[in-house]
Structure 1
Amino acid sequence: MSTVTYVFGIVAALIVLGVVIESLRRHHLRERHAIWWLLAGIVALIIGVFPDLLGWAASIVGVTVPTNLVFFLSIAVLFLVSIQHSGELTELESETRTLAESVALQDLRIRELEAALAEIESRRNR
C-alpha cells in the first residue's frame, strides 16, 4: 500500500468522524442515528491505521478479496440504517395520523361551539 493511500484512508475516516460528531454537537443528528455512523467511522479509522487487519479479517471470514468484505459491511450498515429509519417512519406516520384525527375532532367541536354560541346570541337579539 502506498503512503498516499494509507494517509487518504486515515484522513477520510477522520473526516467522517468529524462530520458525525459536529452534526451531533449542532443537534442535526440524534444519538441513536449517529451510532451506526460513528461505528462505521471508527472501524474505517482502525482499518486505515492498521490496513493488514482488513486482510486478516477477510481471511477469517473466508473472503478472498478484502475489499469485498468492506463492500459487504458497508451494505450491511446501510441496510441496518434503512431498517431503523423505516421503523421510525412507521411510528411517525402513526403519530401524524393520530394528531390529524385529534385536530379534526377539535375543529369539529369548535365549529359546533361557535354554532351554538351564534344561536344563543341570535336568541338574545330577538
Structure 2
Amino acid sequence: MRSSIVLGLLGSVVVLVALFELLRRHRIREKYAVLWFVVALGVITLAVFPSLLTGVAELIGVEVPANLLFFAASLVLLLITLQHSYELGRLEEKTRVLAEEVALLRLEISSPAPQRGPDPADPGDGPERPGA
C-alpha cells in the first residue's frame, strides 16, 4: 500500500474516532458532527481512490491534483469559518438582549415599589357609586 493511502486512511480514522468521542461526551453538536463526518468520508474516498482526484483535476483543468485538494480544503474551512461567524454574531446579539433584560429585572426588583393611592379612573378601587 502506498504511504499516501495509509496516511489518508489513518487521518480519517483518527478524525472519526475523535468525532464519535466528542459526540458521546456531548462536546460537539450533531450538525457539526455531520459536517466533519462528510469531510472524513471524503478523505477516505480520496485515499482509497486517488485516481478520482486526478480525474476531477483533469476534468476541471487543474494541472496538479494536490492543488485542487488544497483549494477544496481551503474552501471547506472558509465555509465553516463563515458559518461559525454567523452563529457567533447571532449568539452575541442574544446575549446582549438577555443581559439587558436581566438588568431591567434586577432594577425592578431592587428599587422599592412606589406607593400608590386608589386610581380614580379604576371603578373597582373607589367607593361604590349609587345607581351602578
The normalised TM-score by structure 2 is: 0.79
Deviates more, 1:27-36 or 1:96-105: 27-36
Contact 1:58 1:66 in 2 (8 A): yes
- Residue 116 of structure 1, CA deviation: 5.9
Q: Cα RMSD between the aligned structures?
A: 1.7
Deviates more, 1:17-26 or 1:40-49: 17-26
- Structure of greater relative contact order (alpha carbons < 8 Å, 6+ residues apart): 1
Structure holding more helix per residue: 1
Report the number of matched residues.
115
Partner of 2:80: 81
Partner of 1:35: 34
Contact 1:20 1:37 in 2 (8 A): yes
The normalised TM-score by structure 1 is: 0.83
* Larger radius of gyration between Structure 1 and Structure 2: 2
- Residue 79 of structure 1, CA deviation: 0.7
Q: Show structure 2 runs of 5+ residues with no match.
A: 116-132
- Residue 65 of structure 1, CA deviation: 0.4
Question: What letter matches 1:48 in structure 2?
Answer: A
Partner of 2:66: 67
Q: How does 1:2-17 map to 2 (within 5 A)?
A: 3-17=2-16
Contact 2:4 2:47 in 1 (8 A): no
- Residue 36 of structure 1, CA deviation: 2.4
Question: What letter matches 2:12 in structure 1?
Answer: A
Q: Show structure 1 runs of 5+ residues with no match.
A: 118-126
Contact 1:13 1:48 in 2 (8 A): no
Q: Percent identity?
A: 42
Contact 1:36 1:77 in 2 (8 A): no
Contact 2:57 2:64 in 1 (8 A): yes
Question: What letter matches 1:5 in structure 2?
Answer: S
Partner of 1:52: 51
